[in-house]
Amino acid sequence: MFREMLLAGSWCQNIYVDTSSSNNWVVTQVPRLQLRDVFAYTLDVFGSRRILFGTDSSTFPRGYRRDLLDLQTRALQDLEVSDGDTAAIFGGNLQRLLD
């Protein structure tokens, strides 16, 4: 429901999204999206201040999914997202919301 998420985010400034996913859902999109595209669209609508880092990690049995963090980091680098915006997504936004 990626399109619907973007619509909701464009209408309501109090909606935040997180990046937790194994990203398998992108194969259902026509045209098929790459993670870079997902971040580009989401940044256009939500901006970097309403995106929160998340993972599908668990403690048992598969453990921390470092591969997903690496893919997300690479996607933001490919888009040339600033260090400040990247830091916000990967922790700063959550800290700001919890303070």
Share the mean pLDDT of the chain.
91
pTM of the model: 0.89
| Higher-confidence position of 44 and 64 | 44
The answer to whether residue 54 scores a pLDDT higher than 90 is no
**How many domains in the chain?**
1
Give the whole-number percent of the chain exceeding pLDDT 70: 94
Provide the pLDDT confidence category of residue 10 given band limits of 50, 70 and 90.
very high
Dihedral sign of CA atoms 9, 12, 18, 21 in order: negative
Residue numbers of the domain that contains 19: 2-98
What is the average per-residue pLDDT within 37-62?
A: 88
DSSP class of 34: P
Q: Are 35 and 2 in contact (CB under 8 A)?
A: no
What is the average per-residue pLDDT within 37-59?
A: 91
Whole-number CA gyration radius for the chain: 13
